Structure 1
Amino acid sequence: MTTPVDSGRWLRRLHDGAPSAVRLVCLPHAGGSASFFFPLSKALAPAVQVLAVQYPGRQDRHREPAVDDLHTMADRITDALVAEEPGPVALFGHSMGAVLAYEIGLRLAGAGLPAPLRIFASGRRAPSRYREERIHLRDDDGVIEEVRRLSGTKRDLLADPDLLRMFLPALRADYRAIETYRHRPGALLDCPITVLIGTEDPVVSGSEATTWREHTTGPVDVRTFSGGHFFLIDHAAEITALLATLPNSTSLPDLMEHH
């Protein structure tokens, strides 16, 4: 663990939660920011307190250097959580954020803190499943092409040269972080995991999703949605309903088994 950091730089409370609200730490995809989770936070408040993670190198942190090593990023986010009030949290991560959720869960246990109530791993294969991906080594046009393929960014952003100049360094750093990531064999979580995938997602297959079972001693269930990598946007209502059960998340409803 590193020296504790200013948690307010990393963790954003987008809406007020009730004093007894369960805390849900939301970790964005590569190139993503805390504001991606604004609609979810609004829908879940005040029963669930969303803590949306803001990575450096974007939005109000655009002057800070982006972090291009996923283990370093997990260290820093965990330090921010440790600096918060004690108590259990749930973790929701999409794409790169799903692997960060796994690594943060391991670090919380290593710090003697409670295991996550549950990890929601969305749009990402298990930490031990790798593909040869070199998007971070492409030129700018090549990186933008990949973002368009996954439909993760509004076209007006991709068409604005000034915004792109601000956006691309952080995006490239994120791709480098997730593409060079390797998990540390033998490390196991001790919490339930809900894996969420899209039927047409090009970056994760069903078998790669079920391999999450090898990374925890807790139960793992895989929920499948229609759609591609950003299926969670089209299925926002179902995902919100699922996350709203967090105070009683030991028994999740079968909201999405057949989507």
Structure 2
Amino acid sequence: MFCLPVAGIGASAYRGWPTRTGDIEICPIQLPGRENRFRAPAHTSMDAFVKDAADALQPYLDKPFGFFGHCFGARLSYGLSVELAARGGPLPQRIFASSCLAPHRGGYFGGGRSGPFTPETTDEEYMEELRHGCELRGEPTPPDELLGLSIQVLRADIALTCGYRPPGPGGTPLNVTTISWTGDTHMRPEEMDEWSAYGDVHQVLLTGDDFTHRSAPADLLQVIADGLPERTGVLTP
């Protein structure tokens, strides 16, 4: 299971996940521009991301695999799957898309919908939102210097997703499980209904909010296990 991060955050977003669940190995993906890859320039276009990611993952796609992504990470998962299809496969057994509008809705939080971050957000507003997010999660607030680095990554990520123009429904049929959360204030379950046009789509509603996925609750891990029926071998990136 390859896990893609949310906007502005690296692979440490999955530090609360186990390294494996049953016979599924959990493999968080570290994108450039963040954490231990902070010196590498962050991607600012989906085209650049999917090409680099597909090249990097190719040696590990000889076994059944899936993608998990929350919000921005789910859009990355879809874009990467389309790129793999264009190359002739292999494709993920299933994409697990948590709290994310269907790809054709476009833009951050979909086609102009008001969200906490937009391309027009000022640095001061970013700083306030990042501090607020730390408070909500009960985490210590990093110093302003580190928050400034997060803002740079956020700007790149938002440029990427707002500039992405996906092929839309019917282009690449995929197996998708959409995951909604009962306490998510940014994404209501019905807002994810349009994923149904993208292939074999299963919808689930789990207890929690838009941060709950970070702790890998048992019901989320069970959804993943149920969605990946064919599992052989171990991936070791």
Superposition TM-score, scaled by structure 2 size:
0.81
Q: Offset of 1:188 from its aligned partner?
A: 2.9
Distance 1:236 1:66, change over 3 A: same
Q: Which residue of 1 aligns with 2:127?
A: 144
Q: Which residue of 26, 51, 72 corresponds with 2:3? A: 26
**Partner residue of 1:221?**
202
**5+ residue gaps in structure 1?**
1-23, 251-259
One-letter amino acid of the counterpart of residue 37, structure 1: Y
Shift of 1:235: 6.2
Q: How many residues align?
A: 223
Whether the 8 Å contact between 1:91 and 1:120 is mirrored in structure 2 is yes
Rounded to whole Å, the distance in 2 between the matches of 1:185 and 1:115 is 17
Distance of 2:165 and 2:51 partners within structure 1: 15
Distance in structure 2 (CA, Å) of the matches to 1:241 and 1:43: 12
Among 108, 111, 120, the alignment partner of 1:131 is 111
Determine which of 9, 14, 17 is the counterpart of 1:37.
14
- What is the CA distance between 1:33 and its match in structure 2? 1.1
Q: Which amino acid aligns with 1:177?
A: L
1:49 equivalent in structure 2:
25
Relative distance call for 1:180 and 1:70 in structure 2 (3 A) is same
| Displacement of 1:195 | 0.2
In the aligned structure 2, how far is the partner of 1:150 from the partner of 1:206?
22
Distance 2:64 2:173 in 1: 13
Return the letter of the residue paired with 2:189.
G
Q: Distance in 2 between matches of 1:185 and 1:235?
A: 30
The change in CA–CA distance for 1:59 and 1:234 in structure 2 (over 3 A counts) is closer
For the Cα contact (< 8 Å) 2:50–2:79, is it kept in 1? yes
Indicate the larger mover: 167-176 or 24-33.
167-176
2:101–2:195 CA contact under 8 A, matched in 1: yes
How many Å apart are 1:72 and its aligned residue? 1.9
**Mapping of residues 152-171 of structure 1, within 5 Å:** 155-156=139-140, 158-171=141-154
1:204-237 CA distance string (max 9 Å, x none): 2333301011122xx2111112343223246622
Q: Deviations over 1:72-119 (max 9, x none)?
A: 212211121124352332111111110111111111111112221111
Residues 124, 203 of structure 1: 8 Å contact kept: no
Judged with a 3 Å threshold, the aligned counterparts in structure 2 of structure 1 residues 145 and 163 are, in CA distance, closer, same or farther, namely same
Q: Find the residue that maps to 1:121 and give its secondary structure.
A: strand
Paired residue for 2:82? 106
Worse overlay, 176-185 or 145-154: 145-154
Q: CA RMSD in A?
A: 2.6
Q: Larger RCO: Structure 1 or Structure 2 (Cα < 8 Å, ≥ 6 residues apart)? A: 2
Inter-partner Cα distance in structure 2 for 1:228 and 1:180? 27
- Partner in structure 2 of residue 8 of structure 1: none
The answer to whether structure 1 residue 208 and structure 2 residue 209 are counterparts is no
Distance 1:57 1:242, change over 3 A: same
2:175 corresponds, among 181, 188, 192, to 192
- Indicate the SS of the match to 1:99: helix
Q: Deviations over 1:103-150 (max 9, x none)?
A: 111111111122211110011111012331562322212123344566
* 1:161 Cα deviation from its structure 2 partner: 1.6
What corresponds to 2:64 in structure 1?
A: 88
CA distance in 2, matches of 1:121, 1:178: 15
Q: For residue 201 of structure 1, what is the amino acid of its counterpart?
A: D
Give the aligned residue type for 2:34.
R
The superposition leaves residues 10-67 of structure 1 with CA deviations (integer Å, 9 ceiling, x where unpaired) of: xxxxxxxxxxxxxx1110110121122233242526x112221111111111111111
